[in-house]
Structure 1
Amino acid sequence: MPTIDPPPAGSSQLTETISSFTTLTDPRAINDALLVFSHALQGLNSRESKQRILEAIPIAHFLQLLQGDYGDETEYIIDRTCSVLESLLQEKTYSELIQDPLLSVALFQALKSPLSRVHALGLSQVDKVAKEDVSVLRSMLQSDIFNAAVVGIASDSISIAERSKQTLAK
């Protein structure tokens, strides 16, 4: 895979990538765009980059990428999409995720995903419940989200099973 230098938040590369992202269909172009986002979200101006991306591209578009088949690029695209989503959702609390119907469904789907990287993304969002009020934790313990996290322990994938155990131990 090619590497791309991190673009500054106001760079033309980031601006062009943001403006064309939702129309991309070529897997390599999608992968390259995700790489630009990933670098921008880790750079010095990551807050500004995050805001620009969220204002222009619906989270639903990133979630939709997790459902696609991109041939030889699928693993790279899934991995980079998860990385970008983790950065974009970093400041959202568990309560905020659950109150958003789209994100709540996406979280449940991630926890049911056979792909270890997608499952880990879901578990990283469930981990956020540890920073919440006890009432939120109680609510989570009675939810389908909790059941899906528990089922992950019995996964055939060792990485999903181990990651599920870590989440539940918190």
Structure 2
Amino acid sequence: MDATLIEYKDFLVAGLTIEADADSDFTGVWDALNEQLTPEQLTATQKLQKVGLCMPTEDPGGFHYTAGFMVPNIPAVAALGLTGVIVPASMYATAHLVGPAAEVIKGGFEYLMTQYIPSQPLQPTGVAIEVYGPGDVTAQDYRMYAWVGVVSEKTVEELVGL
């Protein structure tokens, strides 16, 4: 599996947020989001980056899951009638995934958490992001990314040997 580190500035996600755990129905959240949006809003979101965002909570087994879209500002959140979530700037361990999204997401995050991150001088922050590519999420050649927020005392340049 192809993995690397990136630094990403803070960004805003407009979406539908639930309290979740590992057994939650994430497909159902996406279905509910799509049902909530008008046809015009659905058309507008096709130009936005689609993401599934997991943010930590006080509950050790739980997290907030937001199915949504990266948007440029608060008015864009309001125009979609969704909840806005600010994701702080961070370094991310990322894995490039190929295959039907529902089949590759879990394996991508498991690889990052059990192999890639432990092999680096990194600690996960609890933030995890599904970054969806264009196309049919059920296709065998579908491409997307798994991102896990990480912290380190070293810079990205030091970690990748630049």
Normalising to structure 1: TM-score of the pair?
0.21
Higher-helix-fraction structure:
1
Higher relative contact order (CA 8 A, sep 6+): 2
Higher-strand-fraction structure:
2
Normalising to structure 2: TM-score of the pair?
0.22
